[in-house]
């Protein structure tokens, strides 16, 4: 079982819609959760971090964490073509020296 | 967010030569830096974890004698690809962990082409 799993997609949504990206993780000891965005040919950039159960909002982005169900999601409201990218979920566990475990990423395309 | 730089951004070299890539955390100290490689349309692959002042920890399958990592200061880690071959051509990305925020920030990457 992989540490972090994501649906590779591609996920296509029309412009203005809500894009929902999901990530599950295997270890209940996971403590910190991150979403990165990676444009084609570029390196990943941090979008959101979340550490406790519930929702965390930042502009059009909302991260949702449910530790009991071991999933973390990212919602993008009012999706724009510029949101088209691969979204990487990352998780850390304290018993591994806070090593980051990355999912393989979900490719999102926002259709104008 | 924190800034991590990489140099060079792009390098073309002949087979058999060595290439050094620098990774710097510009506005924070990073006791831990990571080196990844990524092939086109593939996911990130962690190569090694670099800890300041100690030997790097390599992932399984990564040759430590081929990919030399040095983390001499809290803001600088280097990756040297020794005796590069065409199959080493890839996108190499470093990241640095901000221990205060417990967050990992990526450099812009170095695109290596070995002819």
Upper half-sphere CA count for residue B75 (Cβ side, 13 Å) = 9
Q: Which pLDDT score, from 0 to 100, does residue B72 have?
A: 83
State yes or no: pLDDT of A7 exceeds 90: no
Interval B8-38: pLDDT, tens:
999 999 999 999 999 999 988 888 999 999 9
A11-14/A106-111 β-pairing? parallel
Distance in Å, alpha carbon of B109 to nearest chain A alpha carbon: 6
| Partner-chain contact B106 A44, CB within 8 Å | yes
| Partner-chain contact B93 A46, CB within 8 Å | no
Residue of A nearest to B108 (CA): A43
Interval B57-93: pLDDT, tens:
999 999 999 999 998 898 999 999 999 999 999 999 9
Closest to A22 (Cα-Cα) out of A70, A59, A58, A68 = A70
| Partner-chain contact B103 A100, CB within 8 Å | no
Distance in Å, alpha carbon of A34 to nearest chain B alpha carbon: 8
DSSP letter string, B41-89: TS--EEEEEEETTS--EEPTT--TTTEEEEEEETTEEEEEE-S--GGG-
Rounded to whole angstroms, how far apart are CA atoms B49 and B24?
A: 15
Residues 6+ apart with CB under 8 A from B53: B71, B72
Taking contacts as CB-CB distances below 8 angstroms, the residues of chain A near B102 are 32, 92, 98
Cis peptide bond N-terminal to A84, omega within 30: no
**Residue B93: which of A43, A103, A105 has the nearest Cβ?**
A43
Lowest mean per-residue pLDDT among A21-25, A29-33, B5-9, B110-114? A29-33
Residue of B nearest to A50 (CA): B103
Taking contacts as CB-CB distances below 8 angstroms, the residues of chain B near A43 are 93, 106-109
Interval A17-28: pLDDT, tens:
999 999 999 988
Interval B40-63: pLDDT, tens:
888 889 999 998 888 899 999 999
| Partner-chain contact A46 B49, CB within 8 Å | no
Distance in Å, alpha carbon of A7 to nearest chain B alpha carbon: 13
Taking contacts as CB-CB distances below 8 angstroms, the residues of chain B near A36 are 106
């Amino acid at each position: 079982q992989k540490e972090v799993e994501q649906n590779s997609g591609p996920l296509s949504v029309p412009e203005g819609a809500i894009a929902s990206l999901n990530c599950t993780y295997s270890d209940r000891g996971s403590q910190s959760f991150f979403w990165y965005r990676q444009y084609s040919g570029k390196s990943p950039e941090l979008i959101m971090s979340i550490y406790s159960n519930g929702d965390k909002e930042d502009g059009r982005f909302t991260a949702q964490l449910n530790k009991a169900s071991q999933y973390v999601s990212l919602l993008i409201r009012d999706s724009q073509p510029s949101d088209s990218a691969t979204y990487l979920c990352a998780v850390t566990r304290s018993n591994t020296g806070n090593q980051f475990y990355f999912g393989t990423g979900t490719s999102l395309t926002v259709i104008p | 967010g924190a800034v991590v730089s990489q140099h060079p951004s792009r390098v073309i070299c002949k087979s058999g030569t060595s290439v050094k890539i620098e990774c710097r955390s510009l506005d924070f100290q990073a006791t831990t830096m990571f080196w990844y490689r990524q092939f086109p349309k593939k996911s990130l692959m962690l190569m090694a974890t670099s800890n300041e002042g100690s030997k790097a920890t390599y992932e399984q399958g990564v040759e430590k004698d081929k990919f030399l990592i040095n983390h001499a200061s809290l803001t600088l880690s280097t990756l040297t690809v020794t005796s590069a071959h065409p199959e080493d051509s890839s996108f190499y990305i470093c990241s640095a962990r901000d221990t205060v925020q417990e967050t990992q920030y990526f450099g812009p990457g170095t695109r290596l082409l070995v002819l």
